Amino acid sequence: MIHKKLLKLETELNGCFMEREEIVRGLLVTAVAKGNLLILGAPGAAKTAIAEALSKQLSGKFFSRLLTKVSAPEELFGPLSLKALENDQYKRVTVGKLPEADLAVIDEVFKCNSAVLNTLLPIMNERVYFDDSSTPKPIPLQVLVGLSNELPDGGVNGELAALWDRFDLKYTVAYVKDERNFATMLKLSTNKPSTTISLQELQSAQQQAEQVNISDDTINALVRLWKELKSQGFLISDRRFRNSLRFLKAHAWFEGRVQVAEDDISILSNMLWTEPDQIKLTKKIVMGFANPLTVKANEIFDGAFELSAKLKETPDGSERTAMAAEANHKFKAAQKMLDGLLKQAKSEGKATAKIIERLAQLKEMNENVVNTYLLGI
């Protein structure tokens, strides 16, 4: 029941936000894995809108705050209790603040000074709050979303490295790319989904995901992935690898599996990079582990795409006609290879959606080449 509801919410969110499928899935997986997610990107790319849209559909106490350079601890944790001070105790009135929230969105999360931000560390990692600076108090926080236009001052390995590392999933957003999606975005009447999820339902999803099994094969794949990323010079904290298990389980649960499968490893492409310039390579390596067939399909498609781009740049003439004939020949061969990959993926029970999409794109590209450069239609 809760599984279906969360999938429905996912579809609704994807209908409200264009080209945000990965982030939507990431947010829902983070809620089920009880984690922390960061969205980085240019202004006006729906970072706040998407984080708040999800938070409002999950019933529970919601805390949201935009940080600035001058934000003080009370903005996040509440004012000092005067009553407690009278008794020589240092306590905060946390009502309506982060320590009592089930869901939290912290906007411009790296803007604030590091002294305040460092108080977030135990909240994010251990889900505890140090009320009087010595006794940790468990907090109900289910999901924390951080948003930012920019990287932390001093870089991701600087003063705020520990905070950066506590964001389990990290996404960068760009503006809408596709023309049709852009038109749809302009016509959207609402950014508000209708399905709501109660706190009990979310907790039941978390418990079900916790039961998902991780086989020795998956552990071995993670060890190989760890080695591969290390050999590329990536320094990834052990915490992130430990936490990755929760995210793999949550992802598998979303896919309706009782055991983590190869495909679930794809979620780690947003978990295992540290520097933004590692994003592309991390994705490539992780996807190679998650679904080697999709990676092959992408490579075949990219080769064909390059050829089609070259044709576009070539002036009209016999040279272009010869190139088009060769491209047509190569595209047909590429189609055959993709057909083969699709068959293999089906027989091995692997993900086929991306291969099918690439096949359709390739067919369209080939038709274009034949019509434009060979038939002159």
Ligand X SMILES: Nc1ncnc2c1ncn2[C@@H]1O[C@H](COP(=O)(O)OP(=O)(O)OP(=O)(O)O)[C@@H](O)[C@H]1O
Q: Using the rule CB under 6 A, which residue among 54, 176, 202, 248 binds ligand X?
A: 176
Q: Shortest approach of ligand X to residue 123 CB, angstroms?
A: 22
Is 105 in contact with 55 (CB distance < 8 Å)? Answer: yes
H or E element that contains 121: helix 120-125
- The tally of CA atoms less than 13 A away on the side-chain side of residue 160 is 21
Q: Using the rule CB under 6 A, which residue among 1, 43, 189, 353 binds ligand X?
A: 43
Q: Shortest approach of Mg ion to residue 106 CB, angstroms?
A: 11
Q: Shortest approach of Mg ion to residue 147 CB, angstroms?
A: 6
Complex with Mg ion: residue 176 or 355, whichever CB lies closer: 176
Q: Shortest approach of ligand X to residue 42 CB, angstroms?
A: 7
Q: Does position 49 bind ligand X by CB under 6 A?
A: yes
Centroid of chain to Cα 358: 22
Find the radius of gyration of the CA atoms of the chain: 24
**Binding segment (CB under 6 A) for ligand X, from list 13-21, 151-159, 290-298, 342-350:** 13-21
Taking Cα atoms as reference points, which of 57, 62, 64, 44 lies closest to residue 15? 57
**Residue 74 token pair:** 């009370």
Complex with ligand X: residue 153 or 319, whichever CB lies closer: 153
Q: Does position 47 bind ligand X by CB under 6 A?
A: yes
**Binding segment (CB under 6 A) for ligand X, from list 43-51, 118-126, 341-349, 361-369:** 43-51
- Is residue 252 helix, strand or coil? helix
Q: Does position 48 bind ligand X by CB under 6 A?
A: yes
Is 69 in contact with 112 (CB distance < 8 Å)? Answer: yes
Taking Cα atoms as reference points, which of 362, 356, 333 lies closest to residue 343? 356
Residues contacting residue 16 through CB under 8 Å, at least 6 positions apart: 53, 188, 190, 191, 192, 193
Q: Does position 45 bind ligand X by CB under 6 A?
A: yes
d(CA 116, CA 71): 8
Q: Using the rule CB under 6 A, which residue among 14, 81, 149, 172 binds ligand X?
A: 149
Q: Using the rule CB under 6 A, which residue among 2, 9, 10, 17 binds ligand X?
A: 17
199 binds, among Mg ion, ligand X, none (CB under 5 to 8 A by kind): none
Dihedral in degrees, nearest 10, Cα atoms 180, 53, 257, 214:
120
19 binds, among ligand X, Mg ion, none (CB under 5 to 8 A by kind): ligand X
**Binding segment (CB under 6 A) for ligand X, from list 42-50, 196-204, 302-310, 360-368:** 42-50
**Binding segment (CB under 5 A) for Mg ion, from list 41-49, 237-245, 247-255, 307-315:** 41-49
Q: Shortest approach of ligand X to residue 51 CB, angstroms?
A: 8
d(CA 182, CA 176): 6
**Residue 243 token pair:** 């936490």
Is 235 in contact with 161 (CB distance < 8 Å)? Answer: no
Identify residues 178-197 at the interface with ligand X (CB under 6 A). 185, 188, 191
Q: Shortest approach of ligand X to residue 360 CB, angstroms?
A: 23
Complex with ligand X: residue 18 or 225, whichever CB lies closer: 18
Order of strands, sheet of 36-41, starting from the edge strand that comes earlier in the sequence = 62-66, 103-107, 143-148, 36-41, 169-173
Buried-state track 330-346, b at ≥16 Cβ within 10 A, e below 16: ebeebbebbeebbeebe
Q: Using the rule CB under 5 A, which residue among 30, 36, 48, 274 binds Mg ion?
A: 48
- Is residue 15 helix, strand or coil? helix
Residues lying near Mg ion in the complex (CB under 5 A) are found at: 47-48
Residues lying near ligand X in the complex (CB under 6 A) are found at: 17-20, 43-49, 149, 176, 185, 188, 191
